[in-house]
Amino acid sequence: MSTIIRMFAITILLGITTLTILDTGRAMAASKAEIDSKVDAALPKLIENNTSARLLAKEAKAILVFPSIIKGGFIWGGQIGEGALRIQGKTVGYYNTVAASYGLQAGLQKFGYALFFMTDSALAYLDKSGGWEVGVGPSIVIVDAGVAKALTTTTARKEIYAFFFDQKGLMAGLGLQGTKITRINPD
């Protein structure tokens, strides 16, 4: 019984620590220039190194890039990051991404992701929703090695394609996750 209580206490402590770290990250939000600088470095690298991203970039209405997401947790977890929406290479808005999760998980990871908006209606939904919960609204496809092999301009018929890149660290586990993307106004 003592072991169960100890594990429960550790889980609660780690959950509180994770939430504190995420809240501190919000207080230390990046400036527009910092976000743009990170996006300027990440997006060309993604497009250069990924044939499918290069193909979709030519057809996309807009690309929302989150170059640096921090994800961590033990049982309780979360992730947070900031990014920029680019239309024809120009930033038209800034966004944050936040997710919380609970389940079998442990670790700390840093990564980036980009969302390629292929339709005007998917792009309009981003701001119309007042904070887009991924999985609700436009259809989204996560492009992994299997999807990438079959992706062409003819087969690319979904509204949004997601690419993950620059994964560092170790985060393992399964859990219920919800990601919310919200427009922000950094300095």
Instruction: Please say if the pLDDT value at position 22 is more than 60.
Output: no
Give the count of domains, the chain.
1
* Residue with more model confidence, 53 or 142: 53
Q: Does 113 have pLDDT greater than 60? A: yes
Tens digits of residue pLDDT in 136-166: 556 677 776 544 444 444 444 578 888 988 8
CA 38: distance to chain centroid? Answer: 14
Please give the share of the chain, as a percent, with pLDDT higher than 70.
68
How far apart, in whole angstroms, are the C-alpha atoms of residue 126 and residue 110?
Answer: 24
Q: What is the structure's pLDDT at 119?
A: 93
- Burial class of residue 167 in the structure, from the number of CB atoms within 10 Å of its CB (0-12 exposed, 13-18 middle, 19+ buried): middle
- pLDDT tens across 129-141, in order? 777 766 555 667 7
Q: Which domain holds residue 103?
A: 2-184
Confidence band (pLDDT; 50, 70, 90) for 72? confident
Q: Is the pLDDT of residue 60 over 80?
A: yes
pTM assigned to the model: 0.77
